[in-house]
Amino acid sequence: MRITIILVAPARAENIGAAARAMKTMGFSELRIVDSQAHLEPATRWVAHGSGDIIDNIKVFPTLAESLHDVDFTVATTARSRAKYHYYATPVELVPLLEEKSSWMSHAALVFGREDSGLTNEELALADVLTGVPMVADYPSLNLGQAVMVYCYQLATLIQQPTKSDTTADQHQLQALRERAMALLTTLAVADDIKLVDWLQQRLGLLEQRDTAMLHRLLHDIEKISPNKKRLSKYFSAFHSDCNGQYVSVWIKKRVSDSSF
């Protein structure tokens, strides 16, 4: 699986050099930088001893969104207290999650925030999953180079796995699902419910390939009745009030038995 490391607005050249050296040590090669030219300072290469090829091939983008233009799955680092309604994974928990994603996606990104303030809420919203390193210190803190090393060490086995040859048709399923889900929330006039949107967007990132395909089928069925808002509201009321899961179970059994699924 291709994994790109992205540093957002790094302020110190030494930190960029340390990150590049950590990447080189663990076999990573692709580094992107957002809104910073600090890597052009001589100190970057002094610290990144032996990692000049990574520095030479750094790509710079004005915004995080633009740096993710070709990425299928985004993991962003942050403190647990910033996660709010987001799913939060440790570095160890990321391994099986990304292993599953590698079977139907080809390109993931691991995003690190600013040294002093991390990522903004808007930047965190671009991630599929949030992650952080559990620490026991009263004032837990890792510098940028240390944080990159922790994650590169943990995820090194993933970049050694060859990309599946049949991922092209599937790798955009998740983004398409997000767009369909947001369109549905707009139809239901709840797209401005930030808590609901955050919760939904983060849970979608945890879906496995088969779950994603099944949810596409569900949304397809819903979209067929979406012009009839009264019927659509009744449809969702059934899902919402179905404590025993009977309504959902009937739908799932119908779709699973469909030979085309």
111-146 per-position pLDDT tens digit? 999 998 899 989 998 998 899 988 776 566 789 999
Stronger pLDDT, 253 or 54, i.e. the higher one: 54
Q: Residues 83, 201: one domain? A: no
In the numeric block, the tokens 């040859």 are attached to 165
Residue 245: its pLDDT value, please? Answer: 44
In the numeric block, the tokens 């030219």 are attached to 37
Q: Residues 137, 223: one domain? A: no
Does the pLDDT at position 180 exceed 50? yes
Q: Residues 152, 76: one domain? A: yes
Stronger pLDDT, 186 or 143, i.e. the higher one: 143
Rounded mean pLDDT, 67-92:
83
Residue 200: its pLDDT value, please? Answer: 76
Q: Residues 129, 40: one domain? A: yes
Q: Residues 138, 16: one domain? A: yes
Report if residue 167 sits inside a domain.
no
Is residue 231 very low, low, confident or very high in pLDDT (cuts 50, 70, 90)? low
Q: What is the CATH number of the domain that holds 141?
A: 3.40.1280.10
Report if residue 236 sits inside a domain.
yes
Report if residue 166 sits inside a domain.
no
Query: How many domains, in total, are found in the chain?
Result: 2
Of 159, 184, 203, which residue sits at a domain end? Answer: 159
Q: Residues 36, 74: one domain? A: yes
Report if residue 29 sits inside a domain.
yes
Q: Residues 43, 126: one domain? A: yes
Q: Residues 203, 231: one domain? A: yes
Q: Residues 147, 231: one domain? A: no
Encoding tokens for residue 162?
A: 């060859």
Stronger pLDDT, 147 or 260, i.e. the higher one: 147
Stronger pLDDT, 203 or 168, i.e. the higher one: 203
Residue 219: its pLDDT value, please? Answer: 74
Report if residue 261 sits inside a domain.
no
Q: Residues 135, 177: one domain? A: no
- Strands of 12-106, DSSP E: 31-34, 59-61, 73-77, 88-89
Report if residue 149 sits inside a domain.
yes
- pTM (2 decimals)? 0.73
Q: Residues 151, 178: one domain? A: no
Q: Residues 34, 119: one domain? A: yes
Report if residue 107 sits inside a domain.
yes
Nearest Cα to Cα of residue 113 among 75, 87, 139, 85: 75
Stronger pLDDT, 160 or 82, i.e. the higher one: 160
Does the pLDDT at position 223 exceed 60? yes
pLDDT tens profile 59-70: 999 999 999 999
Report if residue 168 sits inside a domain.
no
Q: Which residues pair with 112 in a beta bridge?
A: 7
Residue 248: its pLDDT value, please? Answer: 45
Residue type present at position 188: L
Q: Report strand pairing: 88-89 vs 73-77.
A: unpaired
Residue 259: its pLDDT value, please? Answer: 43
Does the pLDDT at position 33 exceed 60? yes
User: Where on the phi/psi map is residue 101: left (φ > 0), alpha (ψ -120 to 50), or beta?
Assistant: alpha
Residue 215: its pLDDT value, please? Answer: 76
Of 103, 126, 159, which residue sits at a domain end? Answer: 159
In the numeric block, the tokens 């659509």 are attached to 232
Mean pLDDT of the chain: 81
CA 7/CA 21 separation, integer angstroms:
14
DSSP one-letter code for 82:
G
For 77, the domain range is: 2-159
The enclosing H or E element of 107 equals strand 107-112
